[in-house]
């Protein structure tokens, strides 16, 4: 089985690095992984897409991720400007960077189509500001991702973050990602309980 | 060492393992990460005894490499697209002088309209420039081909271009085994030039050659490439024996047994093709694939042998010979001369248009009904083309074509995902 | 240097025998290397062949024969190397028209990396290969301060291809692409580029101009250039009898008239600052320089200027004289 993730964000938010870190986390678990950018404009603020595939076998496919298992949306302002949800699998999951609950984001149509608890939010920018003192949500979102779907373990995510950001910045990112992992784990429990 | 890393970075590491002595760098997307990676390795002292020169153009990049190579140094540069065309004159010169320079080509479309994304137009534009052209199917192969390329170039004293699909490979982060220095040293001996600018033994290199000798000099260049047809598989076998994996060679067959339809292609798209072949084989369709690694020299005999008995051949190519159709397809037809096999040209992925499994599979279904057309364009937006043709026919000053087509299509994001 | 004011009869040059042995030219020495041997195919009276011979032999002497030469496409390349005969007795490479400076950069880099620091590199080209098509590579080599001496043999047009205009062609000169026709015959005023000044703007360690009129000066400048590391540039005026329409035996004389009229100032500059200019010994009007050349024939009728264009050329010469302080008492230099 191949797992496919698609990251949406804006130039400067580390969208490409996020997909790369996820692939490293999978690699550390002995899996094959392929991360690549959408090769679009690299200008600050422009919409950016990146992709990550994870599999137990060698990944040969070179097309963009058209039918993702997970969408990671690093910038909620994109929700209504780009068709983010294109191709999302019927039982797919969505993780959005927002301090608000998913039901307050005007995407009820998407939420209704997916199984319960499959659209979650995490205040990644806020957590980043708190721990890293910069609104860089990418590593934080991966902490949240580790909490859903069993894609990669949080320990692997932490190791991948440390590879990408050594030293104090790495520590801060790890702290933020760990908190995001806890926030999303709690959210999931809540969603299942309801 | 097995690592999860970016293709460009792995290529930079592989080039560094080959101990280049002069590296010329000029930025062009999508080749930049390779020369940046090498710059880092030189500046940090990891790659020693190497001159890293930031030049003012691609023309200068290859010219500096020419000077360095003629003076006995192992020389390397990398480019893409417009950069290759800007250095075109020097590309012919390097091969004409018989200088074993290795160059990475991060394959990218050629403008106008300006486009930074992947296709093979750049490599095809200079296919007859006398360089050996090897196409990497994966980033692992990109790494391995560079190590083989220096060896091949220096045995023959002929430049080698390693073609790596821009973005699709150069910017992909994957599991790559980057060899150890000792392994590479064992495979690649120090550069021993056949000609060198040396005050102790002066020679003139690059003299004018008239009609009385030019044909012979050119023929000997061709002869080198004919020798390469033997050498490339030999080096690939030696590489496999030493590094334990298949990389390089002339062609690579995939599930050709009993195949009625075979897809022929170069570069990274072979990965997608193999997935399509597996899917269709699972449904009982007799399909296979043939990946061409060495485009120059072109392995006519190997292609002919592998396609024996195949009913139809789909040549998928990422470049368009405007006014003809396919470059690779015409090569395949030459390989099949005298045989009544159907060859279809499938132009795909121009300017980075994603080559989708479902589109390719649909085309293979279509081709089994044996359409008459020879040249097909995968996922061409016919409606857009039609609209522009009609619009342009209605007014003389119809304006710039590219901008008009963009207006018809609307949001650029539509093409990305 | 011992200033000798004795002019040889008719030629106004100072003979070698009048200076001390140490100051005599490389060419006067039996030890000269003959880097470019005779038997090459240059035209009679070729200024470039003369200039290159003097320049390279001096560079050879200065480097103890540890020299590699890079050549742009052009007359010098063509007349010295019809295959398989070559006039070059030193390691020599020709790559393309516009890349000599870059190829030289590569050769120099290879010497450094291969531990041959004593082996030095010169690049050479004509004015077309230097000021036009090779300009990008030249500027890049200067900017990086690569250890290359670039010599431009300036004969003021594309002579190899049959006398077409270059950016070194002077105003009014007739070439195949600036014919002496119409209201503005020949090359127009207000065009062209001064590459020695542009070289200086790169702040490179050494820039000089020279002419085949004063070969001792040319040799001294090449020798000095080879004593310096980094990017260096020498721009040598080399008359072309074919392109200029001058007599083959007048090459040295025409070059001298260019210098003595002020049309072609001789100077040296270090790190962007002019450090020395060669004073004019016997000033001549530009007419004297222009009249022996058929490319300027349309400026005169019966030896008299037909319009104000000669005066404009004189004004250019006057400006050079002022700018480089070319009319001064040589004793004051001491």
Asked if residue C290 is part of any domain, the answer here is yes
Annotate B36-50 with b (16+ C-beta within 10 A) or e (fewer): ebbbebbeeeebeeb
- The residue among A38 and A119 whose pLDDT is bigger is A119
Tokens of B402: 């590219």
Taking the C-alpha atoms of residue C326 and residue B82, their distance in angstroms, rounded to an integer, is 48
**B51 shares its domain with B90:** yes
Taking the C-alpha atoms of residue C105 and residue C142, their distance in angstroms, rounded to an integer, is 10
Taking the C-alpha atoms of residue B215 and residue B236, their distance in angstroms, rounded to an integer, is 32
Confidence band (pLDDT; 50, 70, 90) for C332? Answer: low
Nearest Cα neighbor of C227 from C29, C106, C71, C61 is C61
Q: Chain B residues with CB-CB distance to C under 8 A?
A: 21-22, 24, 49-51, 53-57, 59-60, 63-73, 75, 89-90, 93, 97, 197-199, 201-210, 213
- The residue among B410 and A117 whose pLDDT is bigger is A117
Lowest mean pLDDT among B35-44, C17-26, C59-68: C17-26
Report whether pLDDT(C17) > 80.
no
8 Å CB contact of B66 and C109: no
8 Å CB contact of C65 and B54: no
- β pairing state of B312-317 and B342-347: parallel
**B173 shares its domain with B205:** yes
Residues A60-81 have a mean pLDDT of: 95
Which of B4, B318, B351 to substitute to test the interface with A, most A CBs within 10 Å?
Answer: B4
8 Å CB contact of B63 and C103: yes
How far does A189 lie from chain B, in Å, by closest CA? 32
Tokens of A131: 């721990």
Report whether pLDDT(C280) > 60.
yes
Report whether pLDDT(B388) > 50.
yes
- Coil, strand, or helix at residue C164? strand
**pLDDT at residue B416, rounded to an integer:** 46
Residues B397-410 have a mean pLDDT of: 90
Contacts 24+ apart (CB under 8 A), C24-31: C25/C54, C25/C215, C25/C216, C25/C219, C26/C54, C26/C57, C26/C58, C26/C61, C26/C219, C27/C53, C27/C54, C27/C57, C27/C215, C27/C219, C31/C61
**pLDDT at residue C208, rounded to an integer:** 98
Residues C316-327 have a mean pLDDT of: 97
Which of B117, B272, B355 shows the shortest C-beta gap to A60?
B272
Report whether pLDDT(C3) > 60.
no
Tokens of C68: 């590699």
Which of B89, B202, B208 shows the shortest C-beta gap to C89?
B202
**pLDDT at residue C14, rounded to an integer:** 58
Taking the C-alpha atoms of residue A32 and residue A18, their distance in angstroms, rounded to an integer, is 17
Q: Alpha-carbon Rg of chain C, whole angstroms?
A: 19
Taking the C-alpha atoms of residue B204 and residue B210, their distance in angstroms, rounded to an integer, is 16
Taking the C-alpha atoms of residue B238 and residue B164, their distance in angstroms, rounded to an integer, is 22
Q: Chain C residues with CB-CB distance to B under 8 A?
A: 65-68, 70-71, 77-78, 81-84, 86, 88-96, 98-99, 102-114, 119, 136-137, 139-140, 143-144
Name, in order, each residue with C-beta under 8 angstroms of B10's C-beta and a sequence gap of 6 or more: B3, B139, B142, B143, B176, B178
8 Å CB contact of B168 and A36: yes
- Coil, strand, or helix at residue C118? coil
CA distances from C32 to B339, C65, C140, C154, C236 (A): 68, 10, 33, 24, 21
Residue range of the domain that includes A143:
2-193
Taking the C-alpha atoms of residue A41 and residue B27, their distance in angstroms, rounded to an integer, is 17
Residue range of the domain that includes B404:
390-415
Peptide bond into B380 cis (omega under 30): no
CB A145 within 8 A of CB A7: no
Helices (H) and strands (E) in chain A, counts: 6, 6
Sheet holding C232-237, edge to edge: B204-205, C92-94, C67-71, C120-126, C149-154, C232-237, C206-211, C267-270, C273-277
Q: Which residues of B touch A26 (CB under 8 A)?
A: 4
**B136 shares its domain with B232:** yes
Instruction: Please give the residue of chain B at the shortest CA–CA distance from A68.
Output: B417
Which residue shows structure tokens 């039609």?
Answer: B386
- The residue among A160 and C16 whose pLDDT is bigger is A160
CATH number of the domain bearing residue A165: 3.40.920.10
Taking the C-alpha atoms of residue A25 and residue A45, their distance in angstroms, rounded to an integer, is 27
CA distances from C236 to B189, B400, C108 (A): 45, 49, 23
CB B178 within 8 A of CB B131: no
Asked if residue C5 is part of any domain, the answer here is no
Number of domains in chain C: 1
Peptide bond into B67 cis (omega under 30): no
Instruction: Please give the residue of chain A at the shortest CA–CA distance from B108.
Output: A39
**B15 shares its domain with B125:** yes
SS (H, E, C) chain B: CEEEEEHHHHHHHHHHHCCCCEEEECCCCCCHHHHHHHHHHHHCCCCCCCEEEECCCHHHHHHHHHHHHHCCCCEEEEECHHHHHHCHHHHHHHHHCCCCCEEEEEECCCCCCCCCCCCCHHHHHCCCCCCEEEECCCHHHHHHHHHHHHHHHHHHCCCEEEEEECCCCCCCEEEEECCCHHHHHHHCCCCCCCCCCCCCCCCEECCECCCCCHHHHHHHHHHHHHHHHHHHHHHHHHHHHHHCCCCCCCEEEECCCCCCEEEEECCCHHHHHHHHHHHHHHCCCCEEEEEECEEECCCHHHHHHHCCCCCEEEEEECCCECCCECHHHHHHHHHCCCCCCEEEEEECCHHHCCCCHHHHHHHHHHHCCCCCCCEEECCCCHHHHHHHHHHHHHCCCCCCHHHHHHHHHCCHHHHCC
Distance of CA C33 to the CA centre of its chain: 21
- β pairing state of C267-270 and B204-205: unpaired
CB C207 within 8 A of CB C200: yes
How far does C250 lie from chain B, in Å, by closest CA? 29
Taking the C-alpha atoms of residue C144 and residue C147, their distance in angstroms, rounded to an integer, is 9
8 Å CB contact of B275 and A60: yes
**pLDDT at residue C83, rounded to an integer:** 66
**B167 shares its domain with B30:** yes
pLDDT above 90 coverage of chain A, percent: 86
Asked if residue C85 is part of any domain, the answer here is yes
Taking the C-alpha atoms of residue A94 and residue C184, their distance in angstroms, rounded to an integer, is 75
8 Å CB contact of B171 and A39: yes
Q: How many residues does chain B have?
A: 417
- Structural element, H or E, at residue C135: helix C135-143
Report whether pLDDT(B415) > 50.
no
**pLDDT at residue C12, rounded to an integer:** 52
CB B204 within 8 A of CB C69: no
Which of B67, B87, B159 to substitute to test the interface with C, most C CBs within 10 Å?
Answer: B67
8 Å CB contact of A49 and B268: no
Nearest Cα neighbor of C312 from C167, C157, C171 is C171
Number of domains in chain B: 3
Asked if residue B385 is part of any domain, the answer here is no
**pLDDT at residue C185, rounded to an integer:** 95
Asked if residue B226 is part of any domain, the answer here is yes
Taking the C-alpha atoms of residue C209 and residue B107, their distance in angstroms, rounded to an integer, is 45
Which of B3, B117, B272 shows the shortest C-beta gap to A63?
B272
Residues B88-96 have a mean pLDDT of: 98
Q: Which residues of B touch C91 (CB under 8 A)?
A: 197-199, 201-204
Nearest Cα neighbor of C137 from B92, B82, B55 is B55
Tokens of B338: 């005298």
Provide the number of CB pairs (under 8 Å) joining chain B to chain C.
160
Q: Which chains touch A (3 or more CB pairs under 8 A)?
A: B
**pLDDT at residue A63, rounded to an integer:** 96
Q: Can you list the positions of beta strands (E) in chain C?
A: 67-71, 92-94, 120-126, 149-154, 206-211, 232-237, 267-270, 273-277, 300-301, 304-305
How far does C70 lie from chain B, in Å, by closest CA? 8
Taking the C-alpha atoms of residue B331 and residue B314, their distance in angstroms, rounded to an integer, is 13
**pLDDT at residue A192, rounded to an integer:** 74
Partners of B294 in beta bridges: B134
Q: What is the pLDDT of residues B34-78, one digit of tens each?
A: 999 999 999 999 999 999 999 999 999 999 999 999 999 999 999
Nearest Cα neighbor of B134 from B165, B110, B160, B169 is B160
Partners of C92 in beta bridges: B204, C69
CATH number of the domain bearing residue C65: 3.40.50.970
Which residue shows structure tokens 């043939």?
Answer: B290
Nearest Cα neighbor of B230 from B211, B249, B244 is B249
Confidence band (pLDDT; 50, 70, 90) for C20? Answer: confident
Confidence band (pLDDT; 50, 70, 90) for C5? Answer: low
**B402 shares its domain with B329:** no
Report yes or no on chains B and C touching (3+ CB pairs under 8 A). yes
Query: What does residue A18 show for φ and ψ, rounded to 5 degrees?
Result: -60, -50
Angle between helix B214-243 and helix B139-156 axes, rounded to 10 deg:
130
Q: Can you list the positions of beta strands (E) in C95-245?
A: 120-126, 149-154, 206-211, 232-237
8 Å CB contact of B63 and C143: no
Q: What is the pLDDT of residues B195-225, one digit of tens each?
A: 999 999 999 999 999 999 999 999 999 999 9
pLDDT above 70 coverage of chain B, percent: 98
Report whether pLDDT(C334) > 80.
no
Taking the C-alpha atoms of residue A160 and residue B17, their distance in angstroms, rounded to an integer, is 26
Residue range of the domain that includes C323:
32-327
Q: Which residues of A touch B114 (CB under 8 A)?
A: none
Residues C282-296 have a mean pLDDT of: 97
**pLDDT at residue B414, rounded to an integer:** 44
Confidence band (pLDDT; 50, 70, 90) for B135? Answer: very high
pLDDT above 90 coverage of chain C, percent: 86
Residues B81-93 have a mean pLDDT of: 98
Asked if residue B61 is part of any domain, the answer here is yes
Which residue shows structure tokens 């893409």?
Answer: B80
CB A145 within 8 A of CB A22: yes
Taking the C-alpha atoms of residue A14 and residue A128, their distance in angstroms, rounded to an integer, is 12
């Amino acid at each position: 089985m191949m797992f496919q993730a698609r990251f949406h964000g804006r130039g400067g938010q580390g969208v490409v690095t996020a997909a790369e870190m996820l692939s490293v986390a999978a690699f550390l678990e002995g899996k094959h992984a392929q991360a690549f950018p959408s090769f679009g404009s690299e200008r600050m603020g422009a919409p950016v897409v990146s992709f990550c595939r994870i599999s137990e076998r060698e990944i040969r496919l070179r097309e963009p991720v058209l039918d993702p298992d997970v969408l990671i949306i690093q910038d909620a302002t994109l929700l209504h400007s780009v068709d983010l949800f294109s191709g999302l699998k019927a039982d797919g999951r969505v993780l959005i960077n927002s301090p608000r609950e998913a039901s307050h984001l005007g995407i009820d149509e998407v939420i209704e189509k997916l199984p319960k608890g499959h659209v979650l939010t995490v205040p990644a920018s806020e957590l980043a500001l708190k721990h890293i003192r910069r609104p860089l949500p990418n590593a934080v979102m991966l902490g949240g991702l580790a909490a859903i779907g069993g894609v990669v373990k949080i320990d692997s995510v932490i190791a991948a973050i440390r590879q990408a950001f050594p030293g104090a910045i790495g520590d801060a990112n790890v702290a933020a990602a760990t908190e995001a992992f806890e926030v999303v784990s709690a959210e999931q429990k809540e969603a299942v309980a309801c | 060492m097995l690592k999860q890393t970016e293709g460009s970075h792995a290529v930079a590491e592989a080039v560094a393992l080959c101990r280049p002595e002069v590296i010329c760098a000029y930025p062009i997307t999508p080749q930049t990460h390779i020369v940046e990676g090498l710059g880092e390795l030189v500046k940090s002292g990891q790659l020693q005894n190497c001159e890293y020169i930031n030049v003012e153009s691609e023309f200068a990049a290859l010219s500096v490499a020419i000077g360095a190579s003629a003076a006995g140094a192992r020389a390397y540069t990398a480019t893409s697209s417009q950069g290759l065309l800007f250095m075109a004159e020097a590309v012919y010169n390097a091969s004409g002088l018989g200088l074993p320079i290795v160059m990475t080509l991060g394959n990218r479309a050629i403008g106008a309209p300006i486009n930074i994304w992947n296709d093979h137009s750049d490599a095809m534009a200079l296919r007859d420039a006398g360089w050996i052209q090897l196409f990497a199917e994966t980033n692992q192969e990109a790494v391995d081909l560079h190590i083989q390329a220096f060896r091949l170039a220096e045995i023959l004293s002929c430049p080698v271009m390693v073609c790596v699909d821009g973005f699709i490979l150069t910017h992909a982060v994957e599991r790559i085994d980057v060899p150890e220095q000792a392994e590479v040293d064992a495979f690649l001996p120090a550069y021993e030039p056949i000609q060198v600018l040396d005050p102790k033994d002066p020679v003139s290199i690059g003299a004018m050659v008239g009609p009385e000798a030019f044909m012979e000099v050119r023929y000997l260049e061709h002869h080198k490439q004919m020798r390469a047809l033997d050498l490339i598989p030999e080096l690939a076998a030696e590489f496999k024996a030493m590094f334990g994996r298949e990389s390089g060679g002339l062609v690579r067959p995939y599930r050709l047994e009993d195949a009625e339809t075979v897809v022929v292609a170069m570069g990274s798209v072979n990965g997608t093709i193999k997935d399509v072949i597996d899917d269709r084989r699972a449904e009982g369709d007799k399909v296979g694939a043939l990946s061409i690694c060495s485009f120059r020299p072109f392995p006519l005999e190997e292609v002919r042998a592998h396609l024996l008995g195949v009913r139809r051949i789909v040549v998928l190519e990422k470049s368009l010979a405007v006014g003809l159709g396919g470059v690779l397809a015409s090569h395949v037809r030459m390989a099949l001369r005298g045989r009544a096999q159907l060859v279809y040209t499938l132009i795909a992925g121009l300017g980075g248009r994603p080559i989708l499994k479902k589109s390719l599979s649909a085309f293979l279904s279509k081709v089994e009904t044996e359409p008459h057309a020879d040249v097909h364009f995968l996922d061409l937006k016919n409606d857009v083309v039609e609209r522009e043709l009609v619009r342009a026919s209605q007014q003389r000053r119809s304006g710039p074509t590219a901008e008009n087509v963009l207006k018809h299509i609307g949001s650029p994001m539509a093409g990305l995902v | 240097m011992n200033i000798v004011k004795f002019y040889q009869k008719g030629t106004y040059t100072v003979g070698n025998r009048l200076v001390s042995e140490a100051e005599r030219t490389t060419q006067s020495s039996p030890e000269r290397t003959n880097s470019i041997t005779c038997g090459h195919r240059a035209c009679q009276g070729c200024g470039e062949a003369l200039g290159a011979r003097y320049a390279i032999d001096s560079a050879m002497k200065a480097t103890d024969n540890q020299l590699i030469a890079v050549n742009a496409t052009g007359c010098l390349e063509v007349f010295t190397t019809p295959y398989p005969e070559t006039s070059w007795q030193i390691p020599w490479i020709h790559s393309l028209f516009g890349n000599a400076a870059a190829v030289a950069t590569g050769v120099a880099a290879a010497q450094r990396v291969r531990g041959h620091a004593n082996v030095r590199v010169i690049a050479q080209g004509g004015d077309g290969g230097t000021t036009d098509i090779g300009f990008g590579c030249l500027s890049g080599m200067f900017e990086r301060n690569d250890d290359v001496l670039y010599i431009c043999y300036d004969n003021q047009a594309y002579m190899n291809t049959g006398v077409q205009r270059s950016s070194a062609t002077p105003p009014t000169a007739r070439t195949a692409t600036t014919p002496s026709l119409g209201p503005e015959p020949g090359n127009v005023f207000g065009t062209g580029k001064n590459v020695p000044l542009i070289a200086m703007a790169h702040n490179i360690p050494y820039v000089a101009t020279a002419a085949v009129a004063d070969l001792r000066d040319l040799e001294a400048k090449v020798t000095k250039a080879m004593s310096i590391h980094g990017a260096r540039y020498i721009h040598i005026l080399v008359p072309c009898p074919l392109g200029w329409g001058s007599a083959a035996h007048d090459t040295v004389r025409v070059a001298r008239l260019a210098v003595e009229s002020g049309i072609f100032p001789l100077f040296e500059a270090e790190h962007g600052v002019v450090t020395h200019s060669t004073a004019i010994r016997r000033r001549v009007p530009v007419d004297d320089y222009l009249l022996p050349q058929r490319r300027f024939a349309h400026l005169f009728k019966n030896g008299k200027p037909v319009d104000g264009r000669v005066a404009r050329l004189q004004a250019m010469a006057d400006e050079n004289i002022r700018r480089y302080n070319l009319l001064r008492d040589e004793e004051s230099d001491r």
